[in-house]
Amino acid sequence: MNLEHFWSIIETSRDGLDSALSSGNMSKQVERLKSILAALAPHEIGAFSNRFLQLFHKAYDWDLWAAGFIIGGGCSDDSFMDFRYWLISMGRSVYDDALNNVESLANVAFRPDVECPEFEEFGYVADGVMQQLGISEEDAGIMEFEHPDEPTGEKWKEEDLAMRFPKLTSAEAQFGA
């Protein structure tokens, strides 16, 4: 599945989300994505899952982990997985902007329509649809992707975050929990 098709599926799953709601959008997006994927052929669901994992691994970056840490007030290994699922769920422009400059998330993570910058359920939608439809990983063409050993980029220290990421730190102080 090419990137354009993948991202069009994500964008379609976001159609009609209420920008004024502080809750409910995540569950709506999951249900829409399930419906979209269930209408695809098994190999297309597998191709979606494969592309999802590629983008998930590409986002394994120290700066993004710092963003998750600042926005969430901490970020364990599991929380960083859920943060990357959320990042993908937000669509191509948010994802690409964040990979290019994590400070861009200062304008996204604290919007009223963002329930939580962690979205564990989103990472398992394709697997759930395949299971529900009785599609094996082999029939779907699921590929094995080895998770990178270490994040890309420069490791950070908590005491340096405000200096390295002033926009995110300021936004969290103003709008965070």
How far apart, in Å, are the Cα atoms of 135 and each of 5, 10, 43, 49?
A: 21, 21, 9, 13
Question: What confidence tens digit (pLDDT) does each residue in 125-145 have?
Answer: 999 999 999 999 999 999 988
Span 57-62, average pLDDT: 98
Question: What confidence tens digit (pLDDT) does each residue in 79-110 have?
Answer: 999 999 999 999 999 999 999 999 999 999 98
Domain span including residue 137: 3-175
> Mean pLDDT, the chain, as a whole number?
93
Within 13 Å and on the Cβ side, how many CA atoms surround 124?
9
**Total domains present in the chain:** 1
pTM recorded for the entire structure: 0.94
- Distance of alpha carbon 174 from its chain centroid, rounded? 23
